[in-house]
Amino acid sequence: MADIRVLPQSVADKIAAGEVCERPSSVCKELVENSIDAGADKISVEIKSGGIKYIRVTDNGCGISKEFAETAFLRHATSKLTEIDDLESLSTMGFRGEALASICSVARVELITKTKDEEMGTHLVIEGGIKKEKDEIVCNEGTTMVVEDLFKNIPARMKFMKKDSTEAGYVADTLSRIALAKPSVSIELISDGKTVFKTTGDGNISNAVLKVYGVECAKSLLEVDFEQNGIKVRGVIGKPEIARGNRTRQTLFVNERYIKNHVVSKIVEEAYKNSIMTGRFPFFVLGIIISPKLVDVNVHPAKTEVKFAYEKEVYDAVYYGVKNALFREDEKPKLNKELTFEKRMAESFPKPVQMSMTFAPKRENVLRDVVKTEPLSKPVQSKKQDTLDIDMKKFTEKYLEHTIPPKDLTEKAVEKNAEEIKEQEVVQEIKIEEEKMPRKIIGQLFDTYILYQQGEEAYLVDQHAAHERMRFEKLLKQRKQKISFSQGLLVPVVLDLDPSERVLLAENMEFFSEYGFEIEDFGGGSFIVRSTPVIGSDKEIISLVFEILEILKGNKKGGIMSLEERTLDTIACKYAIKANKKLSFAEMEDLLKGLDELLEKGITTCPHGRPIKVSLSKYELEKMFKRVV
Residue 80 contact partner, candidates ligand ADP, Mg ion, none, CB within 5 to 8 A by sort of partner = ligand ADP
How far is residue 204's CA from residue 206's CA, in Å, rounded to a whole number? 6
Strands 307-308 and 295-296, by their bridges, are antiparallel
By the rule CB under 6 A, 110 interacts with ligand ADP: no
Least distance in angstroms from the C-beta of 23 to ligand ADP? 17
Q: 460: which DSSP letter? A: E
- Are the beta carbons of 213 and 495 closer than 8 angstroms? no
CA atoms within a 13 Å half-sphere pointing along the CA-CB vector of 82: 5
Phi and psi at residue 457, in whole multiples of 5°? -125, 140
By the rule CB under 6 A, 297 interacts with ligand ADP: no
Per-position x/- string for 248-277, each x denoting binding to ligand ADP as judged by CB under 6 A, each - no binding: ------------------------------
How far is residue 629's CA from residue 614's CA, in Å, rounded to a whole number? 23
Q: 605: which DSSP letter? A: B
Residue 38 contact partner, candidates ligand ADP, Mg ion, none, CB within 5 to 8 A by sort of partner = ligand ADP
By the rule CB under 6 A, 96 interacts with ligand ADP: yes
Strand ranges, E, within 355-431: none
Residue 59 contact partner, candidates ligand ADP, Mg ion, none, CB within 5 to 8 A by sort of partner = ligand ADP
- Compare residues 34 and 255 and give the one whose CB is closer to ligand ADP: 34
Strands 42-48 and 186-191, by their bridges, are parallel
How far is residue 584's CA from residue 589's CA, in Å, rounded to a whole number? 9
Residues 71-130 that bind Mg ion (CB under 5 A): 94, 99
DSSP 186-205: EEEEEETTEEEEE---SS-H
- Are the beta carbons of 149 and 166 closer than 8 angstroms? no
Single out the residue of 11, 45, 55, 77 in contact with ligand ADP (rule: CB under 6 A).
77
Residue 143 contact partner, candidates Mg ion, ligand ADP, none, CB within 5 to 8 A by sort of partner = ligand ADP
Residue 240 contact partner, candidates ligand ADP, Mg ion, none, CB within 5 to 8 A by sort of partner = none
How far is residue 525's CA from residue 501's CA, in Å, rounded to a whole number? 10
Residues 6+ apart with CB under 8 A from 155: none
By the rule CB under 6 A, 4 interacts with ligand ADP: yes
| Strand order from edge to edge, sheet including 487-496 | 487-496, 526-532, 518-521
User: For the packed helices 499-507 and 538-553, what is the interaxial angle rounded to 10 degrees?
Assistant: 80
By the rule CB under 6 A, 72 interacts with ligand ADP: yes
By the rule CB under 6 A, 99 interacts with ligand ADP: yes
Alpha helices (runs of H) in 82-163, residue ranges in sequence order: 99-106, 155-158
How far is residue 543's CA from residue 246's CA, in Å, rounded to a whole number? 13
Cβ neighbour number for residue 373 with a 10 Å cutoff:
14
Single out the residue of 21, 28, 66, 95 in contact with ligand ADP (rule: CB under 6 A).
95
By the rule CB under 6 A, 69 interacts with ligand ADP: no
- Are the beta carbons of 263 and 315 closer than 8 angstroms? yes
- Compare residues 139 and 367 and give the one whose CB is closer to ligand ADP: 139
Residues 18-57 that bind Mg ion (CB under 5 A): 34
Q: For residue 211, which of 242, 172, 240, 247 has the smallest C-alpha distance?
A: 172
Q: Which stretch binds ligand ADP (CB under 6 A): 92-100, 180-188, 304-312, 322-330?
A: 92-100
By the rule CB under 6 A, 122 interacts with ligand ADP: no
Strand ranges, E, within 282-437: 284-289, 295-296, 307-308
Least distance in angstroms from the C-beta of 255 to ligand ADP? 16
Whole-angstrom distance between the N-terminal and C-terminal Cα of the chain? 90
- Compare residues 97 and 499 and give the one whose CB is closer to ligand ADP: 97
Residue 7 contact partner, candidates ligand ADP, Mg ion, none, CB within 5 to 8 A by sort of partner = none
Single out the residue of 26, 65, 79, 200 in contact with ligand ADP (rule: CB under 6 A).
79
Single out the residue of 25, 26, 35, 191 in contact with ligand ADP (rule: CB under 6 A).
35
By the rule CB under 6 A, 60 interacts with ligand ADP: no
Residue nearest to Mg ion as judged by C-beta position: 94
- Are the beta carbons of 62 and 269 closer than 8 angstroms? no
Least distance in angstroms from the C-beta of 191 to ligand ADP? 21
Q: Which stretch binds ligand ADP (CB under 6 A): 78-86, 188-196, 252-260, 529-537?
A: 78-86
By the rule CB under 6 A, 64 interacts with ligand ADP: yes
By the rule CB under 6 A, 464 interacts with ligand ADP: no
Phi and psi at residue 557, in whole multiples of 5°? -80, 135
How far is residue 459's CA from residue 395's CA, in Å, rounded to a whole number? 14
Single out the residue of 46, 59, 457, 547 in contact with ligand ADP (rule: CB under 6 A).
59
Per-position x/- string for 141-160, each x denoting binding to ligand ADP as judged by CB under 6 A, each - no binding: --x-----------------
Least distance in angstroms from the C-beta of 41 to ligand ADP? 13
The three-state secondary structure class of 304 is coil
Per-position x/- string for 192-231, each x denoting binding to ligand ADP as judged by CB under 6 A, each - no binding: ----------------------------------------
How far is residue 213's CA from residue 348's CA, in Å, rounded to a whole number? 10
Q: Which stretch binds ligand ADP (CB under 6 A): 34-42, 411-419, 461-469, 477-485?
A: 34-42
Q: For residue 165, which of 47, 308, 35, 325 has the smallest C-alpha distance?
A: 47
How far is residue 75's CA from residue 79's CA, in Å, rounded to a whole number? 12
- Compare residues 112 and 237 and give the one whose CB is closer to ligand ADP: 112
Indicate the residue type of 196: V
Residue 64 contact partner, candidates ligand ADP, Mg ion, none, CB within 5 to 8 A by sort of partner = ligand ADP
Q: Which stretch binds ligand ADP (CB under 6 A): 70-78, 295-303, 457-465, 583-591?
A: 70-78
Enumerate binding residues for Mg ion (CB under 5 A).
34, 94, 99
- Contact residues for ligand ADP, defined by CB under 6 A: 1, 4, 30, 34-35, 37-38, 59, 61-64, 72, 77-80, 94-101, 143
